[in-house]
Amino acid sequence: MAGEEECVALALGNAADLEEAPASGNDPTAAGDEEEEEVRNDGDQEGRSKGLRKCVQNLPWYMGGDAFKRLLEEQDIKFASAKKRKGKTVGFVEFDVAEHAEHAKVKLEAMTGSKGKKPKVSDALPRSWEADETGNGDAKEENAELPRDVSEVVTPLASQSYEEQLREKRDGVATVLRKFVRHTRKCCVHGTPVPEWLTPGKEKGGMACDFEGIISSPVVEGYRNKCEFSIGFSADGESVVGFQMGMFRKGITTIGNPRNCRNVSDIAKFYAGALGSFIRTSEFQVWNKENNSGFWRMLTVREGRHPRTCQEEVPMVAEVMLVVQVSPSGIASDAKTKEYERMARELSSAAFSASPPVTLTALLVQEHVGVSNAAPADAPLISLAIPGTEVSVQYIHDYIGDLQFRISPTAFFQVNSFAAEKLYALAGEWAGLGPNTLLFDICCGTGTIGLTLARKVGMVVGIEINADAVTDALTNAKLNNISNCRFVCAKAEDVVNKLLNEYEVLPEESSEDNAMDTDKKRFSNVVVIVDPPRSGLHPTVTKALRVHSRLKRLVYVSCNPDTLIANSIELCAPSSTADKQKNGRGMNIKGMSSMGYARQRMKNMPNSEPFKPVKAVAVDLFPHTHHCEMVMLLQR
């Protein structure tokens, strides 16, 4: 999933969701696996509701240490917290006296903020239960930035017909295919010959290749098989399980009830409600994003379908996994354990007494103390016994076509299984596979793409960074009696070059009867399918693919058309005759778009035969949102 952005819209709050398009109003920058830094003043937080709380964007991060704190102290400013994500910094500061607030605002705005931008000081969005105390009137009325319902944030296209949504996404992908031409042409400097595809005629509409439009999702309501809910305060100050009402970096921390979100399933809504009811009886606090305190942080609901319910309007769900993320610091171990057991009893009782009863297959707690909800893949997972069931498991199963897939809590799986079937079938068709093909599935997750195509090829080599996903992929091969797959747990950038060169690929004409010989590692052709996270492929991977001359066919699948095009510039731009830059030195990438950066990286690309874009298509995996998957075939 592909997924995940930094796309315009808002993302789910977990690292896994970097790879997929968002379902929630969490800050996309919060979803990343990027480094985060925190400055926190653990001092007096009392009285914050009646003080003057300000949100500072573009905080001068270089002052994040002592100098900034000193300035704040001089002004008698209470510094709640600040976070740095992807170079953007947001802080919350609080004053007792309006005069101090004005004075500090002037001082802060006179500084140079992060990335050279001016700090912007605005009122932190008041929450309605604070309104009376601050004398600001009804916070909800005043706060034009806060949407009326979280569904406006999570499913911004929901008010349009599905046809209109598809048109909008199709046009968006057509636009990036035009940008592809413009940016790649800019790489043709110093007399570099311009390939024909860079001067597309009118029939191509200025696009780099044939564009086959958009494939619709077979299911458009409640299609998500995975939802990551934040736990926090609603606008009324109630503890709630739902989605963030806007971006944290805009000062929005309020959580909205997901009841009107059309992409969320009834089961996910049911469990968000059930956990919400439970935490309102808990002595432990919900997570407060402004000062990074509290216990209950997130709920992930994952669903696996019954076999053979594919393409039905309402998916029949056979298995459900719940992962509740908590921040356990400072809580005694036995108090925690008791609360986990109480939660297991409450959730299972709610599920079994619902009419009709709701499935519950696996219940886990993820303990994570970091600032962002994006827990590392190895954050401790505690499996809870579900009362009334004999065994506790840590995974669920879903189906792609007639293959069964085991899915572990942190493993990626496309969130719209029905539409994913269409996506994988198309990728396989375009890959032009045969019995002598060696297929690389780069960023393979639980092995979905490789395993669904394994019977058409000689051998599949999958590469995946998440160890649990690789264990799932190996299990999935066995579950489906597939024996010609190898799955390697590694960063693709660390192993792709070595793996590509490990197998002998003989040209078709010289191939003998035994050209496909997995023991001797000989094949007659090699094909690569890549399906990276939203950030795209690492430059080492694009370089390895480009310089591997035996690779003639590459299918790129992505939930982020921008990074797909950026990587395709590196794969398809003609080699320049100009001197190569050394190690990217001298590059000033500040504020550069992904495509601009790709053009810069082209300057380091060794001379090699470029690929040519042949055709592209969009596949709508995320109805009601701005997102879609894109597939492009590159050949040479």
Ligand X SMILES: C[S@@+](CC[C@H](N)C(=O)[O-])C[C@H]1O[C@@H](n2cnc3c(N)ncnc32)[C@H](O)[C@@H]1O
Query: Which parts are annotated binding residues?
Result: 414, 464, 531
Sheet containing strand 226-233, strands side by side: 255-256, 239-244, 226-233, 296-305, 317-326, 362-367, 381-384
**Residues tagged in the binding site annotation for S-adenosyl-L-methionine:** 414, 464, 531
| 3-class DSSP assignment, residue 572 | helix
DSSP letter (8 states) at residue 248:
G
Q: Which residues does 471 contact at the CB level (< 8 Å), separation at least 6?
A: 408
Kindly list the distances between the CA atom of residue 241 and the CA atoms of 227, 388, 460, 495, 630, in Å, as whole numbers in the listed order.
11, 25, 41, 41, 32
Choosing from 39, 324, 485, 492, the residue that interacts with ligand X (CB under 6 A) is 492
Round to whole Å and give the CA distance between 187 and 574. 8
Residues recorded for the chain: 636
Q: How far is the CB of 174 from ligand X (least distance, A)?
A: 23
Amino acid 318 reads A
Cβ atoms of residues 427 and 449 within 8 Å: yes
Beta bridge partners of 56: 91, 121
Count CB-CB contacts under 10 A for residue 25.
31
Task: Kindly indicate which of the ranges 332-340, 445-453, 497-505, 571-579 contains the residues binding ligand X, using the contact rule CB under 6 A.
Answer: 445-453
* By the rule CB under 6 A, 486 interacts with ligand X: no
Closest to ligand X by CB, 367 or 421: 421
Count CB-CB contacts under 10 A for residue 82.
21
Q: How far is the CB of 12 from ligand X (least distance, A)?
A: 13
Residue of 7, 187, 209, 559 marked active site: 559
* By the rule CB under 6 A, 443 interacts with ligand X: yes
* By the rule CB under 6 A, 469 interacts with ligand X: yes
Q: Which residues does 281 contact at the CB level (< 8 Å), separation at least 6?
A: 346
Cβ atoms of residues 563 and 595 within 8 Å: no
* By the rule CB under 6 A, 2 interacts with ligand X: yes
Q: How far is the CB of 529 from ligand X (least distance, A)?
A: 8
* By the rule CB under 6 A, 3 interacts with ligand X: yes
Choosing from 466, 480, 563, 567, the residue that interacts with ligand X (CB under 6 A) is 466
Q: Is 188 a catalytic residue?
A: no
Show the binding pattern over residues 391-430: x = contacts ligand X (CB under 6 A), - = does not. Answer: ---------------------xxx----------------
Round to whole Å and give the CA distance between 298 and 16. 14
Task: Kindly indicate which of the ranges 149-157, 193-201, 312-320, 463-471 contains the residues binding ligand X, using the contact rule CB under 6 A.
Answer: 463-471
Closest to ligand X by CB, 360 or 617: 617
Q: How far is the CB of 576 from ligand X (least distance, A)?
A: 27
Show the binding pattern over residues 519-558: x = contacts ligand X (CB under 6 A), - = does not. Answer: ------------xxx----x--------------------
Closest to ligand X by CB, 269 or 534: 534
Q: How far is the CB of 233 from ligand X (least distance, A)?
A: 32
Cβ atoms of residues 595 and 575 within 8 Å: no
Crossing angle for the helix pair 539-547 and 492-502, to the nearest 10 degrees: 20
| 3-class DSSP assignment, residue 149 | coil
* By the rule CB under 6 A, 465 interacts with ligand X: yes
Cβ atoms of residues 515 and 437 within 8 Å: no
Closest to ligand X by CB, 115 or 478: 478
Task: Kindly indicate which of the ranges 43-51, 212-220, 387-395, 440-448 contains the residues binding ligand X, using the contact rule CB under 6 A.
Answer: 440-448
Round to whole Å and give the CA distance between 145 and 245. 9
Residue nearest to ligand X (CB): 445
Closest to ligand X by CB, 176 or 377: 377
Beta bridge partners of 528: 440, 554
Choosing from 491, 550, 603, 612, the residue that interacts with ligand X (CB under 6 A) is 491
Q: How far is the CB of 461 from ligand X (least distance, A)?
A: 12
Round to whole Å and give the CA distance between 104 and 76. 9
* By the rule CB under 6 A, 363 interacts with ligand X: no
Alpha helix stretches (DSSP H) within 86-233: 98-110, 131-134, 139-142, 151-154, 162-187
Total number of residues that touch ligand X (CB under 6 A): 25
Closest to ligand X by CB, 250 or 538: 538
Choosing from 5, 19, 319, 367, the residue that interacts with ligand X (CB under 6 A) is 19
Closest to ligand X by CB, 127 or 626: 626
* By the rule CB under 6 A, 444 interacts with ligand X: yes
What are the respective helix, strand and coil percentages of the chain, to the nearest 5?
30, 25, 45
Q: Which residues bind ligand X (CB under 6 A)?
A: 1-3, 19, 412-414, 443-446, 448-449, 463-466, 469, 491-493, 531-533, 538
Q: Which residues does the annotation mark as catalytic?
A: 559
